[in-house]
Amino acid sequence: MSAEKSFDFLENTPLANPGDMSGQMKAAYDMGDLGGDAASAGYGGGGGGRASAYLRRRGFGWLMEVEEDDEQQKPLLEELDIDPTDIYYKLRCVLLPLPYFGYDRQVVRDRPDFWGPLFVVLLFALVAMVGQFRVVSWILTIWLAGSWFVYVLARSLGGEVSYSQSLGVIGYSVLPLLLVGLLLPLAAKVHGLVGFACKILAVVWASYTAGSLLCVEELQVKKPLLLYPIFLLYVYFLSLYTGV
């Protein structure tokens, strides 16, 4: 017995708008793309992907996080907290310590920095290292240890001075020794007494600059007790240069 087959005849009517077919095909294609993208995102790696979900369950979700650094990269000098203008102003305050010149010398103490004093001390060490390279480490050591000793002495005398302030003031005040160290060979050729006078002038200059800045209001009565160790410190600095 043969199975009966039924045939349905469809009416072949022309489309009112032929563009509808292409639009429907395009919509279906777009939906297929969207489904494919969603599937790939669900599998691979979006925030809700299987891999990220697995890592989150294992406690390694931070591996899938992307940090967005919106901040602009700062210049190197700003990153290292180096202000050349401020350092230059402090150098002028040390070179011209008298009130006559009108510089606000208190900024050397009130705004301490590390790179300016280190630059001055290293320059002095480079000048002193001619023929005696081992002096460089001694100069840096005396700067750090001497500043600590002056800081402890100032605090014990009742002065409100921090170690960073002592380190900055002592380091900047080495500048007169540096200048005299550059001129000393020329002065020694003129006369021996001229060279000796330059040494005394450099030590007194440096001691006055550092002492006047570190002797705050609480130490005005006890100023000689702080000035004498500072004077000896710069004498030792200069002795490392001259080799005496």
pLDDT band at 174 (very low <50, low <70, confident <90, very high): very high
Q: Write the pLDDT tens digit of every residue in 195-230.
A: 788 889 999 999 999 988 888 777 788 888 899 999
Contacts of 148 (CB under 8 A, 6+ apart): 163, 166
Whether 143 is in a domain gets the answer: yes
- Which range among 4-8, 87-91, 93-97, 192-196 shows the weakest confidence by mean pLDDT? 4-8
Does residue 25 register a pLDDT over 80? Answer: no
Our count of domains for the chain comes to 1
- Please give the pLDDT value at position 43: 40
Whether 186 is in a domain gets the answer: yes
Whether 75 is in a domain gets the answer: no
- pTM recorded for the entire structure: 0.65
Domain that holds residue 208: 82-242
pLDDT band at 11 (very low <50, low <70, confident <90, very high): low
Q: What's the mean pLDDT in 71-83?
A: 76
Whether 10 is in a domain gets the answer: no
Query: What does the longest C-alpha to C-alpha distance in the chain come to?
Result: 141
Does residue 172 register a pLDDT over 70? Answer: yes
Q: What's the mean pLDDT in 142-162?
A: 91
Report the C-alpha gap between 194 and 188 in whole angstroms.
Answer: 7
- Please give the pLDDT value at position 60: 62
- Please give the pLDDT value at position 152: 93
Whether 28 is in a domain gets the answer: no
Q: Write the pLDDT tens digit of every residue in 45-70.
A: 444 567 777 767 766 666 566 555 54
Whether 126 is in a domain gets the answer: yes
Whether 184 is in a domain gets the answer: yes
Please classify residue 5 by burial: count the beta carbons closer than 10 Å to its beta carbon, then call 0-12 exposed, 13-18 middle and 19+ buried.
exposed
Whether 48 is in a domain gets the answer: no
